[in-house]
Amino acid sequence: MGDKLGEMVKKMYLIICILFAFNLIAEEADLIKQFDRLDLKANPQVEAKIFSITGGVNNISLTNVKIAKPSRQSLKKYGLISRKDKYAIRVLNEEGNQIMLAGLGDPFTLHIDHIGYEDEATFQAYIAQDFEIAIPVSVNAAYFILLSQDEFGFKEIKKIKVN
């Protein structure tokens, strides 16, 4: 009787773990939803609004907005988000709907290598970084949100309104 009860407990535990994993995947897929319409993607052959942003570990600020053709390199640099991205930027429209989520990597941490101490935090420094986000002219961006990502998901660091 004890073996059957133990097996049943193991099976229930496995079912709960699987349901939890599916729930996490579904939530993450909803959060990471990228552009699903072609008119929301910036194109290097068409003029777009290019937002120049200065950011740091705890802050972002909008420094400039211009209309120009974005470079292919800038479009590739900040693209789909992955688990390796420590920071991300979310762009919302006036209604608060997400129109873009771009992974930034870890642009604010300067790693200084010293032989034998590669993993030491004392050889790291936090720096400000400039980057550009291109959005089609037809899309109205109202807010930029700097996010940090850890093993539990995204956390909002700073939200700024586009004037």
pLDDT by residue (tens digit) across 65-83?
999 888 877 777 767 788 8
Nearest to 133 by CA among 97, 94, 88: 88
Asked if 128 contacts 146 with a C-beta cutoff of 8 angstroms, the reply is no
- Amino acid at residue number 4: K
Nearest to 54 by CA among 66, 64, 45: 64
Asked if 53 contacts 144 with a C-beta cutoff of 8 angstroms, the reply is yes
Per-residue model confidence (pLDDT) at position 135: 87
Asked if 105 contacts 81 with a C-beta cutoff of 8 angstroms, the reply is no
Highest mean pLDDT among 9-18, 72-81, 95-104, 116-125: 95-104
| Rounded (5°) CA angle 121-122-124 | 70
Task: Please list, residue by residue across 15-54, b when 16 or more beta carbons sit within 10 angstroms of its beta carbon and e when fewer do.
Answer: eeeeeeeeeeeeeeeeeeeebeeeeebbeeeeebbbbebe
pLDDT by residue (tens digit) across 77-102?
767 788 888 999 999 999 999 988 88
Lowest mean pLDDT across 15-19, 95-99, 104-108, 144-148:
15-19
Q: Answer whether residue 116 shows pLDDT above 80.
A: no
The C-alpha atoms of residue 127 and residue 6 are separated, in whole angstroms, by 54
Highest mean pLDDT among 10-14, 33-37, 51-55: 51-55
The C-alpha atoms of residue 139 and residue 18 are separated, in whole angstroms, by 39
Token couple for 53: 């942003």
Band the pLDDT of 35: cuts 50, 70, 90. very low
Which position has the higher pLDDT, 143 or 111?
143
